[in-house]
Structure 1
Amino acid sequence: MSLRSPLLALFIASLSFAAGAQNRDVRLPDLGSSAGALISPQEASQYGSAMLHQMRALHMVLDDPQANEYLNSVGYRLVAASDDPKQKFTFFVVRDKEINAFAAPGGYIGVNAGLITIAQDESELAGVMAHEIGHISQHHLERAFEASKKDAPLMALVLLGAIAAGASGHNSGDAGMAVLAGGQGLIAQRQINFTRSDEAEADRVGIQTLARAGYDPEAMADFFQRMEDTLRPGSGGVSVPELLQTHPVTASRISDARARARTLEQQMKEQPHPTLNRAALENSTVPLPFVKDPSTLTARPTSNGHKGVAGLSLFKLMRERVRVLSGDPNKLLDYYAGNFSRPGFDTPSNRYGYALTLIQTGQPAKAIRQLQPLLKQHPGNTTLRLALAQAEFQNGEHAAAFDLYAALSANAPDDHAIAMAYAHALTQAGTQKQARKAEDMLRPMLDDSEDPDLFTSYARASEKAGMPVRAGEAFAYASYLSGRPFDAMQQFRRLLDRPNLDYYQRARINAHIAQLTPLLLELRKRKVDTPDRDDDSNSLPDRSKEGSASQLCFSLTCG
């Protein structure tokens, strides 16, 4: 993992970011935001990464290990079946209740919490994600930028305003979003003129990807139909002016998607394409090869009669997890408890959501009582066992929690969600030796990671394990990944003041500073505010004194 965010990244990222933002007064399902730049793959990755950092600074990203790993497992199942399987993708959950998803440079695809919670099954979610993957694989972002490059200065100013709004207070996420949404309104008409052909192509490519990956190819049309029903006058939906429907859900689009899906299904019957085992894939928070003893879960029935196998849907568990972690826990207590008497609501996934809400509101004993009957029915389910371990730990039953975490880790040693939960428990309630074990578990996961929570967990484990320099580096990385580059620089500079640094430690820290310095200088030059902006120019090093340290080590795992 290296620091990489030139200021230009913020400007170009604004195009895709604004396209994904929705006017808060218009509840429009926007399937397929297209914007980006005519840039090299490395630059595109830098720009997408910068966008993600800024979204984190505005508290717009739901960084939950289980939800992230699930979304990325679905995403890479689709990528493997796409037209560009070598393209790197990063899928993340946006902390927003609007029904939306968007693609950004470098293969960054954001899926709103609102879209996940409204989807009825994994195939519908996969349908939207396949559509966004189609925008990336067909290079629509580059085309969109070429067609709208005259708007780039405008959107750069919009992003600067959003960053300033984000820096104005602790609860400023809505302010930043509002600025971006307003900026999008200024170019909505221009955008609609060149995206409709891209939308049709992304639909076609996405449906093909769905089928190749073993999903129901009609799921995309089914989702479109429900969105169209929502917007229909008299259905209780919202009437949206045609001008603002940059990606309209129309009867024609639905019928085209359904016709393509049925044609493709017929072709695959005549010439079957190797597909992934959908029932086996939905077994844990990580892809199948890393799990030694997967539990079997239910998949969506397809139009050719496939019914899956008996079990508990991982999609439905993750849907409730996203609902809980992106919502108000106190309101969700009433939502779950008040609806269990309704026909069809008392399901394992809703009981799991209720248990998570109880954990979130500090009622672990009640959560345990909700989870134990579920685990009797599904004893091997990783998601339920993780929730039980968390509830037991919060309830003070540390020995039981450690035993359960250890068993989960032995079964899936490369699962980031399990490792982070286990490491957190070891760090919080364990000995220094156990904290060292947590540090050992997390360190291999740091390479190429964009998860600030992972670096924070590693930092806390290192700190308790008696490794203060490693801890300081990790805390600084977490600040950088969270959109706080000035804060990260100050932390790195303070580390250099520590006595008794060895050669490798000093070289690593100097390398981080050398990589971060150009970004901060450019931010100051252009007077761009970030939430952590510090006007003390002494926090920036003298570039002439850095020597060749930046060539030595760019990762916390070096040396």
Structure 2
Amino acid sequence: MRCVKVIQSELESRLCMRVKTLFPALIFFACSVLTGIGHVRAADVNLPNIGSSAGELLSPEEAHQYGASMLHEMRSLDMVLDDPLLVAYINALGYRLVAHSDKPDQAFTFFLARDDIINAFAAPGGYIAVYTGLFVTTTTESELAAVMAHEIGHITQNHLARAFEDAQKASLPIALAMLGALIATRGGSGDAGTAAIVSGMAAMQQRQINFTRHDETEADRMGIQTLARANFDPNAMAGFFQRMQQALRPSDDGEVPEFLRTHPVSTSRISDAKSRAEALSKEVANRTPLLESTAGHTAPSSSWLLLQPGQAGKNPLAYGAATHVDLPHDREVSQRYYELMRERVRVLTAINPNAILGYYSDNLRDNPSFDTTANRYGYALALLYAHQPEKALVQMQKLGAAQSDQLVFQIGIAQSEFSFGRRDAALKRYAELETNYPRNRALALMHSDALLQQADADSAHKTQELLRPLLLDESDDPSMQTNFARACELAGDKIRAGQAYAEAALYSGHVEDALNQLKALTSRADLDYYQRARIEARITELTPYVLELRRKHIKPDAQDAKRQGLRAGLGRDNDATERDSNTASSHKSSTTFCIGANACTPLSSERNN
């Protein structure tokens, strides 16, 4: 990613300058070692080392900006799965864990990265990514939570900052030792000087390996503690690591799988995790009678937030989850919802509609144990993906009849109705759901998708009323900004539409596009004083960042049809190449179902739930 390369280059150059005055021959070595350290640490978290606990290189605000820039850049490359239901789920699950961590007040952003690899990473500013390949590989919500809790531990324990600070401290004394060795061998054999450099490099690498192992162990222990506090199975971390160790063995050519490279698993690490989990399980068991006696006063679990009518917020902290430990019944409810979301990920990341449909239909026909609610839901989504809305509607209605209070099934019915041509029925269902689930982001986005496909002023006004309150808390949401922009455009408010399109471009990683769109708005003669002031203030904010990108020779992509589509303000459809805020979709009457473009893990006839 361009933004990551800029950060790494800038920070490495600063450190290299500190060594420059010592000995010219060490310049290449110092830069090489620091680059190597960056790669080793990146293997832990899939990011360069950018942070200093002393705040010399990166302040908390800068860390947040870098994390946000990384997310925006990944969006621009279609590397983020921004499905509304999945965004709600992964953040609710993440904040359920954060609420029981040692730093419940720290800000986090959780998102799904589109890739079939089995991995996750933590980034500066509290940004945590879970790869879709890992999501569909987990078998329980506790396993998914275990990986997320581990990454939360890296953030709460300041491992990114400590890693870079350690690199700074290590580079200078080892470089000095190498300098002495080189001076001592001057005039002698060239092999002695080479040996001095090799020894120094080995020392640096060994120090970094030891530091990495310490970080991983600490993140494991903090993660297991968080799992136990949040009433997930604390044994899930050791169990998942053990399963990955057995399943992901190095190939015949010696290539180590991604997960094992970034999260090295050893027998001692698994044993330590098991011991820690056993101790914490006993502590939780001793507290269970007290929890059951106060069950009527507990806050809802993260998944329950998505299921119950009338709950507007998205952050479990708003419901007092920081002092809540879920009861076993809540874990069962949460597990069932997790299974639905796992199958949703599987379908939305499938490349071939017929292949994913065959995966479900074949297994449902041949394997009785595969016939579960979650797999039936995946089958219904696959039918919708394969442009068979009538069959999808039948499946969704069966699911909805069995669980009428399940929002996910009701949304599925509405999407199927709309795609099948029963638009009035679908819009009526959406409106009724809005009454029961006010200010629900996922529902609002899907409802607005349907309204915008009506392409009339009345639907546009309804969309504005629906999204305007949510934008107060979700202003950095490119999907919401895009839909709001299109609604404003249809309603005749071209200025507000232009502003929203610019915001959508910004949060989708197209910063220069956003700046150009705002500058274009300033040429309008119908701007009032306040509109012009807001637009010019935003231009002032974005200009330094764009100039810095230009200074780094990072230029925006060509203004192709895809980018022009953002300015045209067209909403999402189900074409994988025309998605979200940087899409160029046309006004189609097809389904509003959002489908991804990347592959998930290979489909098989084995049950995965």
Of 201, 216, 219, which aligns to 1:202?
Answer: 219
Per the alignment, residue 269 of structure 2 pairs with: 253
Q: Which range is displaced more, 448-457 or 319-328? A: 448-457
Provide closer, same or farther for how the CA distance between residues 312 and 208 of structure 1 changes in structure 2, counting only shifts above 3 A: closer
Name the CA distance, whole Å, in 2 between partners of 1:291 and 1:124.
28
Provide closer, same or farther for how the CA distance between residues 218 and 287 of structure 1 changes in structure 2, counting only shifts above 3 A: farther
Per the alignment, residue 107 of structure 2 pairs with: 88
Contact 1:32 1:102 in 2 (8 A): yes
> Structure 1 residue 311: deviation in Å?
9.5
Structure 1: runs of 5+ lacking an equivalent? 23-29, 153-186, 293-301, 535-559
Name the CA distance, whole Å, in 2 between partners of 1:501 and 1:350.
53
Name the CA distance, whole Å, in 2 between partners of 1:85 and 1:312.
23
2:159 maps to a residue whose letter is: H
Provide closer, same or farther for how the CA distance between residues 263 and 362 of structure 1 changes in structure 2, counting only shifts above 3 A: same
Per the alignment, residue 405 of structure 2 pairs with: 380
Name the CA distance, whole Å, in 2 between partners of 1:286 and 1:468.
37
Identity %: 47
Name the CA distance, whole Å, in 1 between partners of 2:82 and 2:95.
18
1:283 aligns with 2:304: yes
Per the alignment, residue 240 of structure 2 pairs with: 223
Contact 2:248 2:257 in 1 (8 A): no
Deviations 1:42-90 (A, max 9, x none): 1111010011111112211111111011000000001111101111000
1:439 aligns with 2:483: no
2:72 maps to a residue whose letter is: H
Q: Which has the higher helix share?
A: 2
Name the CA distance, whole Å, in 2 between partners of 1:425 and 1:404.
11
Name the CA distance, whole Å, in 1 between partners of 2:549 and 2:275.
50
Provide closer, same or farther for how the CA distance between residues 316 and 349 of structure 1 changes in structure 2, counting only shifts above 3 A: same
Provide closer, same or farther for how the CA distance between residues 430 and 482 of structure 1 changes in structure 2, counting only shifts above 3 A: closer
Name the CA distance, whole Å, in 1 between partners of 2:258 and 2:427.
56
Name the CA distance, whole Å, in 2 between partners of 1:230 and 1:237.
16
Per the alignment, residue 326 of structure 1 pairs with: 349
Name the CA distance, whole Å, in 2 between partners of 1:433 and 1:85.
43
1:265 aligns with 2:281: yes
Name the CA distance, whole Å, in 2 between partners of 1:444 and 1:13.
40
2:336 maps to a residue whose letter is: S
Name the CA distance, whole Å, in 1 between partners of 2:425 and 2:223.
45
Of 214, 221, 228, which aligns to 1:211?
Answer: 228
1:410 aligns with 2:435: yes
Of 470, 475, 488, which aligns to 1:462?
Answer: 488
Deviations 1:350-402 (A, max 9, x none): 12112212222322111101111111211111111111111111111111111
Provide closer, same or farther for how the CA distance between residues 151 and 57 of structure 1 changes in structure 2, counting only shifts above 3 A: farther
Aligned length: 478
Structure 2: runs of 5+ lacking an equivalent? 13-34, 53-57, 172-203, 314-324, 561-609
> Structure 1 residue 238: deviation in Å?
8.3
SS class of match (1:283): helix
SS class of match (1:61): coil
Provide closer, same or farther for how the CA distance between residues 455 and 237 of structure 1 changes in structure 2, counting only shifts above 3 A: farther
Contact 1:31 1:128 in 2 (8 A): no
Per the alignment, residue 519 of structure 2 pairs with: 493
1:78 aligns with 2:97: yes
Name the CA distance, whole Å, in 2 between partners of 1:237 and 1:269.
47
> Structure 1 residue 312: deviation in Å?
7.9
Name the CA distance, whole Å, in 2 between partners of 1:291 and 1:437.
19
Q: Pairwise mapping of residues 183-194 of structure 1 onto structure 2 (< 5 A)? A: 192-194=209-211
> Structure 1 residue 191: deviation in Å?
5.2
Name the CA distance, whole Å, in 2 between partners of 1:266 and 1:121.
21
> Structure 1 residue 218: deviation in Å?
1.1
Q: Pairwise mapping of residues 4-153 of structure 1 onto structure 2 (< 5 A)? A: 35-38=49-52, 39-148=58-167
Q: Who wins on radius of gyration, i.e. which is larger? A: 2
Deviations 1:122-177 (A, max 9, x none): 1111111111111100100101122346999xxxxxxxxxxxxxxxxxxxxxxxxx
Root-mean-square deviation (CA, aligned residues, Å) is 3.6
Name the CA distance, whole Å, in 1 between partners of 2:285 and 2:486.
54
Name the CA distance, whole Å, in 1 between partners of 2:38 and 2:468.
32
> Structure 1 residue 278: deviation in Å?
9.3
SS class of match (2:112): strand
SS class of match (2:160): helix
Give the ranges of 4+ consecutive aligned residues of structure 1 lying more than 4 Å apart after TM superposition. 5-22, 30-34, 149-152, 187-191, 236-239, 241-244, 271-280, 286-289, 304-312
Contact 1:57 1:482 in 2 (8 A): yes
Provide closer, same or farther for how the CA distance between residues 43 and 21 of structure 1 changes in structure 2, counting only shifts above 3 A: closer
Contact 2:51 2:160 in 1 (8 A): yes
Name the CA distance, whole Å, in 2 between partners of 1:277 and 1:211.
17
Provide closer, same or farther for how the CA distance between residues 266 and 13 of structure 1 changes in structure 2, counting only shifts above 3 A: farther
Per the alignment, residue 419 of structure 1 pairs with: 444
Contact 2:45 2:262 in 1 (8 A): no
1:114 maps to a residue whose letter is: G
SS class of match (2:110): strand
> Structure 1 residue 8: deviation in Å?
6.3
Contact 1:8 1:47 in 2 (8 A): no
SS class of match (1:501): coil
Name the CA distance, whole Å, in 1 between partners of 2:393 and 2:359.
19
